[in-house]
Amino acid sequence: MLHLRLIVPAARTEEATAVLEDCPGVTNIVVLPGAGRDPKGDVVLCDAARESANEVLGRLKWLETEGSIAAEQIELSLSEAARDAVHEAPGEPDDAVIWEQLSQKVYADSRITWAYLAFLAIATQLSGIAVLQDSLILIVGAMVLGPEFGAVAAICFGLLHRNGHLIVNALRTLVVGFGVAMAITYACALVSYWLGWIVPGDLDTSAEFHFIVKPDRWSFIVALLAGAAGVLSITAGKSSALIGVFISVTTVPVAGFVAVASALGDWSEVAGSVAQLAVNLAGMVIAGTLTLLVQRKFWPQVGRRSSV
């Protein structure tokens, strides 16, 4: 269930509540006349099943300019009325994609922030150390820490809605993020080489690490599966599944390997690693976009009444 808080101009409160009462899966409607101060208006509270969210938000879209809409996930609801509302709403909660919520998330993830750069730089350095130490544990840790899938999902959403501005922003975030992370890792590896801590022979990868530098048909298949699973985990709110996506693809390990190999002057495997990075990103974007397309076309959230 979602909890919605609306601030509605007093003259349109009846119109707003009529929409809520008409939408399946909406319950616990409360009207607080004159409670809104900024913006001014009546405060309307209600609970809505996830499957009903798109219809409610679509029919109350005018509040975005005339009032306010806020939504939050309800962790616990002890109410027979709420259980009836979920049962009344067509579909299953896990299949419901709240498109407005997804839109805000991907727009946020398409921006370059200091936190994004810091996480990606740390993850890339960990992967560089992992390659030097032949440590699969560090590789997995670097994969989980990498934040790059948010920008990939933003590209998928932008392609679905033909939003060039969002696509460009997300691509810039990926390019700048990996560029900064690889530059920092390169500098650290170069200093370590000057100090005699590492030598080119340390970069000889074992068989377990060939998936980083030797792309093949399985690399693309894994990227496709990871892209589809990643989008599903975001739209269904299953953050635990997203961790599996991070571990499945080798974007961060590839970036770390390229940075370290460049610092050590070992160019023999760099081309393969760059190809691996391109294959991973392309596969995730293709599968992620197709997954969103399927969800929009074939998994309607409110059955016959959906307005999205």
User: Which residue among 94, 121, 149 closes a domain?
Assistant: 94
User: Which residue among 94, 128, 150 closes a domain?
Assistant: 94
Whole-number percent of the chain with pLDDT over 70:
90
Q: Are residues 67 and 200 in the same domain?
A: no
* Alpha-carbon separation of residue 200 from 142, 257, 281 (angstroms): 22, 12, 28
Q: Report yes or no on 255 lying in a domain.
A: yes
Strand-by-strand arrangement of the 40-48 sheet: 26-37, 40-48, 2-8, 68-73
The parent domain of residue 293 ranges over 101-298
pLDDT classification of 308: cutoffs 50, 70, 90: very low
Q: Are residues 239 and 115 in the same domain?
A: yes
Judged against a pLDDT cut of 50, whether residue 253 lies above it is answered with yes
For the chain, the domain total comes to 2
Assigned token pair, 249: 């693809």
| CATH number for position 70 | 3.30.70.120
Judged against a pLDDT cut of 90, whether residue 273 lies above it is answered with no
Q: Please give the Cα distance from 115 to 243 (Å, whole number).
A: 18
Q: Report yes or no on 308 lying in a domain.
A: no
Q: What is the average pLDDT across 214-239?
A: 83
Listed range (15-29, 116-130, 203-217, 218-232) with the worst mean pLDDT: 203-217
Judged against a pLDDT cut of 80, whether residue 238 lies above it is answered with no
Q: Report yes or no on 189 lying in a domain.
A: yes
Provide CB contacts within 8 A for 218, sequence distance 6+.
none
User: Which residue among 94, 116, 143 closes a domain?
Assistant: 94
Predicted pLDDT of residue 297? 82
Q: Report yes or no on 305 lying in a domain.
A: no
Predicted pLDDT of residue 205? 62
Q: Are residues 87 and 161 in the same domain?
A: no
92-122 burial: b if 16+ Cβ within 10 Å, else e: ebeebbbbbbbeebbbebbeeeeebbebbbb
Question: Counting beta carbons within 10 angstroms of the beta carbon of residue 162, is it exposed (0 to 12), middle (13 to 18) or buried (19 or more)?
Answer: exposed
Q: Are residues 63 and 126 in the same domain?
A: no
Predicted pLDDT of residue 219? 84
Q: Are residues 219 and 114 in the same domain?
A: yes
